[in-house]
Amino acid sequence: MKSIYFIILFFSIHPILYAQFEITGTISSDSIKLESVNIAVLNSNRGTITNSKGQFKLNNVSTTDTIRFSMMGYQTLDTLFYKGVGDAKIKLKQSIIEISEIEITTPNYVSDILKNVLVNLENNYPVNSSIINAIFRKQIVQNGDYLFLGNSQISIFCPSYLSNEKKNVYLNTIKLTKNELVNINMDIPPSSLLDFSPKFGFITSPEYFDFTFLKSIKWNNAVFLKIAFKTKQKYWDDSPFEGVLTIEKSSYAISEIEWTTHKKDETKKGYNREMGIYKGTFVTNQLKNHISYTKKNDNKWHFSYNRIIWDVTIKYKKYPDENQNLILKSDLYVQENDLLSSIKNLESININVDLFNKQKSLNYSEWDDLNPILPDFK
């Protein structure tokens, strides 16, 4: 009789253990909503990141999944969920320890760091060709309202480091939520998000930039150096860049890059359904770029995330009293690395032209496993 009860109990518990549910919530620290927090299901290739409001959504979670919330500068949190949660409040604690840099005694300290970064580029990043599967999200917002919102899952062929081969993009599926554009004639080329090689101009051509050491921090038992860079004054009008490099001290690997470009005012022409043909001048014009890398078991730093934000305010000749704000955001979030054979049945596309124009069957159910990034706006 006991064995019968055991069998009944086992089959009653089994569906509970393996039932899948959804987790949505907000991540913050000291009441500040945290953007770009990495949310990963351990021992799997599933995950997502928070949007600009600290919000996230994770599908197909089970009671046996360990969910990891991590972000540089904050204590990593691992937790289990035993049922679906519609408004989880996740709080991360700051864990950065600033270090006094006693060894800074020479004026060449920063330049020596940058030389070591350049020398170690090939050692710190993958040298073999690979495939990354990623979520690409594109948002165009006018005065707080969406003109365009689209997600796609793409595979990217990444040639070996320092190779002359080109990156190829393969389209898996699309989810186009909203498209109120006819031709706005302003866009961030998606190919810009494929330029995530750590070999950037401010490393290979440091003579064009001023560098300033900011601080050393300790995070997850590793020391990181924060170095600010800015285009020299005599080159500023032609190439106005400024930003911050985050470098792991032990390997001299770039782990994170953030920079801003202050683009020149210029006249733009275009067309959309609301305004018809317009001509206007940029009042404000700023482009921000954020690239991050993750250190994996092979001790190589792999590209993990890129966000580009183009924020402009346009004064239209046709509507001189009504400035229009346009925000264009593009995100590329890597969900997994794959074998080269995984792309053999996929179609290569021109990402600048075909990404959201391909006539494909949009099977929205496929997105249940992909955990796209939540929209930044309503």
Residue pLDDT, tens place only, 116-125: 998 998 889 8
Q: Which of 1-5, 23-27, 30-34, 372-376 has the lowest mean pLDDT?
A: 1-5
In a domain, 63, yes or no: yes
In a domain, 378, yes or no: no
pLDDT value for 218: 86
* Among the listed residues 157, 243, 143, the one whose alpha carbon sits nearest the alpha carbon of residue 202: 243
Identify how many contiguous H helices and E strands the chain contains and give both numbers.
5, 21
> 121 and 266 share a domain?
yes
Of 91, 107, 136, which residue constitutes the final position of a domain?
Answer: 91
Distance, CA of 225 to CA of 223 (rounded, Å): 7
Of 47, 68, 91, which residue constitutes the final position of a domain?
Answer: 91
> 82 and 105 share a domain?
no
pLDDT value for 57: 92
> 260 and 320 share a domain?
yes
pLDDT value for 230: 93
Residue pair 172/151 in contact by the 8 Å Cβ criterion: no
At 65 the three-state DSSP class reads coil
**DSSP category for residue 292:** E
Residue pair 137/150 in contact by the 8 Å Cβ criterion: yes
> 171 and 296 share a domain?
yes
3-state SS string for 231-286: ECHHHCCCCCEEEEEEEECCCCEEEEEEEEEECCCCEEEEEECCCEEEEEEEEEEE
The two three-digit tokens of residue 1, written as one number:
């009789």
Sign of CA dihedral 43, 46, 49, 55: negative
Distance, CA of 257 to CA of 306 (rounded, Å): 10
Q: Which of 68-77, 143-152, 238-247 has the lowest mean pLDDT?
A: 143-152
> 156 and 190 share a domain?
yes
User: Which whole number is the average pLDDT over 263-286?
Assistant: 60
Domain that holds residue 85: 2-91
The neighbour count for residue 175, using CB atoms within 10 Å, is: 19
Number of domains in the chain: 2
In a domain, 377, yes or no: no
| Percentage of the chain modeled with pLDDT above 90 | 25
> 57 and 141 share a domain?
no
User: Which whole number is the average pLDDT over 89-108?
Assistant: 72
* Among the listed residues 27, 49, 260, the one whose alpha carbon sits nearest the alpha carbon of residue 137: 49
The neighbour count for residue 73, using CB atoms within 10 Å, is: 15
Q: Which of 8-12, 71-75, 129-133, 343-347 has the lowest mean pLDDT?
A: 8-12
